[in-house]
Amino acid sequence: MARGGRDEQGRPRYDVAARRLSEILADNQVAAGVFEWERRRPARRAPATARRFDLTMPLVPGWIPAGSLDNVPPDDRAAARAAALTPDDVPALGDDPNDNTWFRRYHAAGAEFAAHADVARLWVLNEDGRFDAASYNRNAPFDAYAPFRFDELMPAGEAPPTWTRRPRPLLPLSDAAARLFAGGVRVEMSFDGGAAWFVLTRGYVVLADRAGIRLTVDNPLEITPPHRTPAQQNLWYALIEQTFRLRVTAAVESDVRPALRAVPARVPRVTARPFVPWPAVEFGVGDRIDGLRGRDVRWSVGDGADGRAAVVRGAAYEFGPRRFGTELTLCSALPPFDLDA
């Protein structure tokens, strides 16, 4: 057999480009043979989407406890409330409101807001345990940070008893009401420890990297119960009084996936297998041909003027004493056949 590859100088040991096919076959002591190639993809498996569940879940603060907001003793709560600024209080600060510590830290226009942007605004599910108890525990009911237990919300047999600890961004609800809420997620607040709940319809975004939301109002005291003014009750005051709660209703992707199902590859309908009496290496997979010049042979797919050239799907090269040439495999190029299927 002729030795392939290259020598120490990088030159081909056997240069096929400079030889005829008959010479290559003779040098390799091949008297007859058949080489076949064909365009057909193997059967593939359809991707299976993880099962989703619509759940109502309580969120917890996603900020390190702030001294003026969290863990405030009862005797100090009146002073903590007085230090916060309602929207009506801000204009009274004059030309430089950043002289006020609360404004500087917790108002969106404050000079130090970037360092305190999560306070009262970031709310998370903590599904992966990223928010640890040592750093984030505070007054009840936010005094037991741990990875969220999805299994406690699931009916028996609906999902596996354990869920992988990983971020699970909130997904739009599956029902038609989802379009009424930002990101398809329903957000509810309570200012009295969960006795009454109110839907938040604006001023928040759904986090893209984990289960949670971020409030986007300039001043957290803007968020109030219905028919109450910020001076009467608001998010900040309720956090100081330890009566604020927040929950979301959204779809969550589980770890339950249906079994993968095999999808058979689409095989085009073969329309012809013409034989060409030479090694027809000029035809490649996907080429459209309508005949052979010099042999008065033509073909098409369709009828009359609507006919189209056939597509080369494969070939068998034969060389030997009985037959020498190429048998082409042609197929229809008409829909629904797609060569890449």
Domain boundaries, the chain: 31-45+266-331, 52-253
Region 87-97 average pLDDT: 94
Burial state string for 139-156 with b = 16 or more CB within 10 A and e = fewer than 16: eeebeebebbebeeebee
The pLDDT of residue 101 = 96
pLDDT of residue 293: 67
What pTM value is reported for the model? 0.63
Residue 267: count other Cβ atoms within 10 Å of its Cβ.
Answer: 12
Is the model's pLDDT at 340 over the cut of 50? no
Listed range (47-51, 166-170, 203-207) with the worst mean pLDDT: 47-51
Could you read off the pLDDT of 175-193 as tens digits, one per residue? Answer: 766 666 767 899 999 999 9
Q: Are strands 310-319 and 291-292 parallel, antiparallel or unpaired?
A: unpaired
pLDDT digits (tens, 9 = 90+) for 288-316: 877 776 666 676 655 544 456 778 878 88
Q: Angle at Cα 277 formed by Cα 274 and Cα 281, nearest 5°?
A: 85
Please list, in sequence order, all residues whose beta carbon lies within 8 angstroms of the beta carbon of residue 290, skipping any fewer than 6 positions away: 298, 299, 300, 309, 310
